[in-house]
Amino acid sequence: MPDIFYQHKILEKTIDLIITPSNIDLKFSGNILDFYKDEKKEELKLDASAKVSDIYSVLPNEYKDQPEYLDLLLLVKSTKSIFRKCYILEKKGNIFKTTLNLNKRDWRNEVEISALLTLKKDIKEQNGYASNRGTKLGWSSSYKIYFDEPEEKSGGASMELKWESFSGPKLSWLNEYYNEDVYTLDISRGNKMPKIYLNSDIDNHLRSLIEEKSTRSSRKTSSRDLIFQTIFNSIFTQLLTDSLIDLHNNVQEHERSGSDKEVVIETAWDELVEWKKKMIENYSHKILPSSRKKDALENLKEKIYDDKDAISEISRKILNIAQNSSDYNTQKVFTDHARLLLREEKK
Amino acid sequence: MLKFEEILTKEDLIDYFEGKDFKTIEVDNGIEKNSNQNEYSRIEELKAKINNSLRTMSDDKKTILKSDAHFSQTIFEQLQYFPRRELTDIRFWQYIGLKYLQNYIWSRWEKSVKINTPLKNNEKIKIIKSTNKDDEDKWSSITTRFLGGTSLKSLTSRHAISRLFWPHHILEDHDLVKLCFEKQDIAVAVFERQYGMHPEAAKSFIKNISKKHTGLEKKNIQQEAKKLNRYFATINADYLDQNSIKKLIFA
């Protein structure tokens, strides 16, 4: 359900939508169907059925139990395909049903399907109830169909960490001057998530400390945590800086086109690669701690548009944002380590 | 018919003009289902038609700026048979723009270039990228016209060729296309926003905006576009016909 405050009554429960491919070979995994994996099939036929609890609760009393005032729609949309369509589901008893066909030649990337309850006709205005035809009154969760392999996981994707020789061909840009370093971040992977590399040629003692799995508090684990925290801070700083600079550059570029603020911000955001969006989205409330958590992202985008110095102002604090953004606060990790060492010294 | 294998970046554009070959892949041409015309001849014909229009055009830059609707019709007629999947692929448009319709893009979008005057590659590079006094890269806005971008708007409003194709596809009527491009602010207001994808909403906005604001001032167009966009947060645009949307515009 969208994060909007509706001034009219909406369904209290989400619409129960079930979508199944007519072809038994194809199956949704959760709400996702990877149709691109089936290279032979050109067309996807889907059966949709939906159930709405307490459907008439969205209508004022005088219209209650009158199905002619409501329509249940199946929305099919895909931003990348510049296409959206809505089908009216047919009521059969308590269930709403329809079928649809999607052809591979028509669609790109991700197609989203969901159900929406809507007002069918304009009705007399009554406080607390919708009155305009087309008003959104209730939602289902969405199904996603991928017509192309997603470039990266859509959310919660973690960064890959690999041991690799800094003198080897895979990390050729480090070979000449940086081959004795401990870690590096490959950020130049286009739309793909950056990768962290640890140098497989480092001293064995250091490697064994980094690979230590124990969670028991000791000099060893405390030193390992200290190393992790240092690596985290620098990598986080680079990722966030890169993401913010890209957003800033996109805003500036689209501002030159003469579009209005709303469009510039939206386009600049749309054109960021997914992982950069996630970075900014996940940490916007750390960047603007005085904003309400749910408003922080929008406030940040506006700040970058409105204030030309916003980026330099954020850059001054970016190391501090990093120190406060990991699961383990930097000040705590460093202090714990210092205490442990000094306590042992006293003994 | 081909398209680039990867989406070209700004740096790639410089390399392209320096003569680098970029890998290409075949486009699904849609011939069997929709047309008996050869895909290459369609593109070659498009190139010839556009160059012909450019040749007969006066040197006054205003003429080409006012000819978007004309070129929109030509481009739509020649490319409409390609599958939607290809027509929404920015690699397809980047390839067509660079390989076949460069002359048009330079003439339409670069102030310093006279209509239908071929440029040398070093001249193109000089226009595209310069550096400011701090040695920072300064990219010309024409790069967007060659490359588009990754957002929806890049197809409907930014890339020099696809921005002419898609409004025609959505509006389905040449007179509406003319109205849309008569005042660039209208085209921008509609096709830079999500509701530009709703044919009924786009049509209704274009038909009615000049009735509500006869002067078609940029500020008013933007305000109305914003207002309509806000309505669509609570009202489902897909479900409405043009009359219902007209009511919202005049509300």
User: What's the per-residue H, E or C state across B189-218?
Assistant: HHHCCHHHHCHHHHHHHHHHHHHHCCCCCH
Residues of A in contact with B240 (CB under 8 A): 133-134
Q: How confident is the model at residue A192, as a pLDDT?
A: 80
Q: How confident is the model at residue A215, as a pLDDT?
A: 86
Query: What is the distance in angstroms between the Cα of A109 and the nearest Cα belonging to chain B?
Result: 9
Residues of chain A with pLDDT under 70: 1-4, 151-158, 347
Q: Decide if B193 touches A, using CB distance below 8 A.
A: yes
Q: How confident is the model at residue B191, as a pLDDT?
A: 92
The tens digit of pLDDT for each residue in B199-212 reads 999 999 999 999 99
Nearest-by-Cβ selection for A271 from B85, B150, B197: B150
Q: Decide if A85 touches B, using CB distance below 8 A.
A: yes
Q: How confident is the model at residue B61, as a pLDDT?
A: 86
- Which pLDDT band, with edges at 50, 70 and 90, does B47 fall under? very high
Closest CA to A182 of A199, A165, A196: A199
Six-digit token string for A115: 């159900």
Least confident of A85-99, A256-270, B80-94, B163-177: A256-270
Q: Decide if B55 touches A, using CB distance below 8 A.
A: no
Cα–Cα distance for residue pair A233/A329, rounded to 1 Å? 10
CB atoms within 10 A of CB B223: 14
**Cα dihedral A157, A162, A166, A168 in deg (nearest 10):** -110
pLDDT higher than 90, residue B59: no
Smallest CA–CA distance from A132 into chain B, residue:
B235
Nearest-by-Cβ selection for B192 from A136, A263, A271: A263
Q: How confident is the model at residue B35, as a pLDDT?
A: 52
- Which pLDDT band, with edges at 50, 70 and 90, does B120 fall under? very high
Q: Decide if A83 touches B, using CB distance below 8 A.
A: yes
- % of chain B beyond a pLDDT of 70: 94
Six-digit token string for B151: 């957002």
Cα–Cα distance for residue pair B5/B23, rounded to 1 Å? 6
Paired strand residues for B88: none
Q: How confident is the model at residue B176, as a pLDDT?
A: 95
Cα–Cα distance for residue pair A132/A120, rounded to 1 Å? 8
CB atoms within 10 A of CB A236: 20
Top pLDDT among A272 and B153 is at A272
Six-digit token string for B112: 């310093």
The mean pLDDT value for B2-27 works out to 94
Paired strand residues for A86: A75
Q: How confident is the model at residue A156, as a pLDDT?
A: 45
Smallest CA–CA distance from A76 into chain B, residue:
B238
Q: How confident is the model at residue A155, as a pLDDT?
A: 42
Q: How confident is the model at residue A154, as a pLDDT?
A: 42
Q: How confident is the model at residue B193, as a pLDDT?
A: 86
Cβ–Cβ below 8 Å for A270 and B233: no
The mean pLDDT value for B28-34 works out to 60
Q: How confident is the model at residue A122, as a pLDDT?
A: 92
What is the pairing mode between strands A43-51 and A70-78? unpaired
Residues of B in contact with A71 (CB under 8 A): 239
Q: Decide if B112 touches A, using CB distance below 8 A.
A: no
The mean pLDDT value for B215-227 works out to 91
Query: Coil, helix or strand for A146?
Result: strand
**Domains of chain A as residue ranges with CATH:** 16-146 (2.60.40), 151-211 (no CATH), 214-347 (no CATH)
- Chains A, B: CB contacts within 8 A come to 99
